[in-house]
Structure 1
Amino acid sequence: MASSSNVSVTSFYTLVAPQVSYAPLSPLAVLPPLALFQIFAPLTINLEHRNYSFWQSQVLPVIRAHELEGYLLGTKPCPPQFVDHIIGGTDPSEVRQINPCYTF
């Protein structure tokens, strides 16, 4: 039997739920994954038979966050170590520079 003073679920939560205000994102939230990983302590666990599951749970997210799976599996070729950079001017010359994509 329904009572005549039914309160809808929506109005109940509106009355009971506190008003929440959200702070702006912290500077850590806008950093790229590589920068976040470099802030925290490096992974120092060695792979052994007894700790494979734990090691995998620590290593795979880092590999995926940095999009390194293709390099490890051989499906994505490594970038060249050096690139030729042409400097403009009256006598343009080629200068070999270290490829920023190569230096991880």
Structure 2
Amino acid sequence: MPLEEKMNTMYRLTFEWAHILEKSRIYQYTDLLYSPWRLIWRNILFGAARGVGIALGFTFFAATIIYILQGLGALNLPIIGDYIADIVRIVQRQLEFK
């Protein structure tokens, strides 16, 4: 293999590695590690956003379940209807107190 071919192969491989490292954003990660206050602030912000998202998602999920249970309670199913009606009554009382 001639020297020029080896150099071209090495250049191509080096260029590919540089492109892969650039795509992985390793520079931004190491920059973030060297600024701990920015890392802490970013984690606090992302944690708060995640908490708000979980709260909204659970609220939507619980409201949907209660709506479905109210519909099932209106059907007057023999055994299940009594349990569902009790659950709906308890939830409605809790909501009235708040």
Query: TM > 0.5 between the two?
Result: no
More helix, by proportion: 2
> Normalised by the size of structure 2, how large is the TM-score?
0.34
Q: Which has the higher contact order (CA 8 A, sep 6+)?
A: 1
More strand, by proportion: 1
Larger Rg: 2
